[in-house]
A and B are shown apart, each in its own frame.
Chain A
Amino acid sequence: MMKNKISIFLITLLALSFGQYDYNLEDLNSSSPDYQENVGTSYFSGKVTLHYFGHYN
C-alpha cells in the first residue's frame, strides 16, 4: 500500500517536472516490452522520445 503511494508520488513528481508534454496511457501493443504498462514521456525519462499521433480507420 505504502509502496503504491510512493510510486504514485514519484510518477506525479516526474509528470510535473516534464510539464505539458506528457501523458500516462496504457501500452496496448502486445509486441512491446512495456505492454500493459502506463507509458508516456516521463516513463522514458532520460531518452529522446518521438510521439506520433494518429489513428487508423
Chain B
Amino acid sequence: MPIQLLGVGKDSHMSALGNWVNNNDAPVCADSFPYATWSDWDASQRDLFILDHEGNLVYHENISSGIPSNIESLVLGLVDQIPDCDSSLMCGEAITCCDGLLYPTTCCAENCDTAIGECNAECEDGEFDNSDPCNPMECYNGEWVQIVIDCAEQMGVPCEGGLYMPPPEGVCCSTCVQFGDSNGDGGLNVLDVVSIVSFVLNGTYDSISDINQDGTVNILDVVSLVSLILG
C-alpha cells in the first residue's frame, strides 16, 4: 500500500524506544535538541499529521483522546488520488500512438503525460500487410508505411551459372538458381541427377536442367551435372 507511518520522538526520550516500536516496522526518528522538526511542524505530544502523496498537509490533530473514526476513510481517499503514472520516467521524445491517442513520448501515459490528440487509426502499430509482397506495409504510429524491397534481378545483378526463377507466392524477389539444381534445394547432388534423368526419360524440358543450354534436356546434361558434382 502506498501509505507510510513514521514516528518522530525526541532524543531525550529514546531510552524507551523499545516501547515505541513494540516490534512494528515503522520508521522511528529522534529529533535532537532544540527539536527543530517539532518546531517546524508546530507539533505537540501525540500530534498526528497526514500528508498527501505530494507532501501537502491535509490533517493535523492531537490524538491524545484516541484516533478519530474517519482517519481510515481519509487516508483511503488520499490513496485514491495517487496517479498510476510516474512523472520521473525517462522517455524518448517521439509522437506515439497508444490506445487510440497520441502522446509526445514513447512512454505514452506512463509518465503522466496527457494525450495531445487522437491517432489517425488506419491500423494498429506492428500490424503487417503483405498482400503485395513487393510493396509490403507495416503500421507505425497508426499509419501504413511502405517498405522498400530491392531485388537483385531488378537491380541488374547477374545470376552467374544459373537462371533467375520466379518467386513463390508471397515472396517478391526472384531467386538465382544454379544450372543443374533441378530440385531447387540450393545444392548440386545425386538427387538432381535423379531429377534430370527423369526429365530425359519423360522428354520434359526444364531450363535449369538444361545445363549446356542447347534447348533440350538429354544425356549430355546428365554428364555435365555429374561432372559438376564430382568437381
Contact of B31 with A by CB under 8 A: yes
Which residues on the B side are within 8 Å of A33 (C-beta)? 25
User: Do the beta carbons of B10 and A55 come within 8 Å of each other?
Assistant: yes
> For the complex, is B4 an interface residue (Cβ under 8 Å from A)?
yes
Residue from the list A25, A32, A46, A53 in contact with B2, Cβ < 8 A: A46
Task: Give bound CA distance, A25 to B16, whole Å.
Answer: 18
**Beta-carbon contact of A47 and B2 below 8 Å:** yes
Contact of A31 with B by CB under 8 A: yes
| B9 and A51 contacting across the interface, CB-CB below 8 Å | no
Interface size on B, residues (CB 8 A): 49
Q: Which secondary structure dominates where chain A touches chain B?
A: loop
A4 contacts the other chain (CB 8 A) = no
B-side interface mostly: mixed
| Segment 10-45 of A: residues with Cβ below 8 Å from B | 17-23, 25-29, 31-35, 37, 39-42, 44-45
B165 contacts partner chain A, Cβ-Cβ < 8 Å: no
Residues on B with beta carbons closer than 8 Å to the beta carbon of A23: 8, 29, 31, 37, 40-41
Question: Given the complex, which residues of B lie within 8 Å of A17, measured CB to CB?
Answer: 55
Interfacial chain A residues near B31, Cβ < 8 Å: 23, 25
Residues of A within 8 A of B29 (CB): 23, 25-28, 39-40
Task: Specify which of B23, B43, B51 is in contact with A41 (CB 8 Å cutoff).
Answer: B51
Given contacts A21-B51, A29-B17, 13 further A-B contacts (CB under 8 A): A23-B31, A27-B29, A46-B2, A46-B53, A48-B51, A48-B82, A51-B6, A52-B7, A53-B8, A53-B45, A54-B46, A56-B13, A57-B13
Q: A residues touching B (Cβ–Cβ < 8 Å)?
A: 17-23, 25-29, 31-35, 37, 39-42, 44-57
Question: What are 10 sample pairs from A and B whose C-beta atoms fall under 8 A apart?
Answer: A21-B51, A28-B17, A32-B26, A45-B53, A47-B3, A49-B4, A50-B5, A51-B49, A54-B8, A55-B12
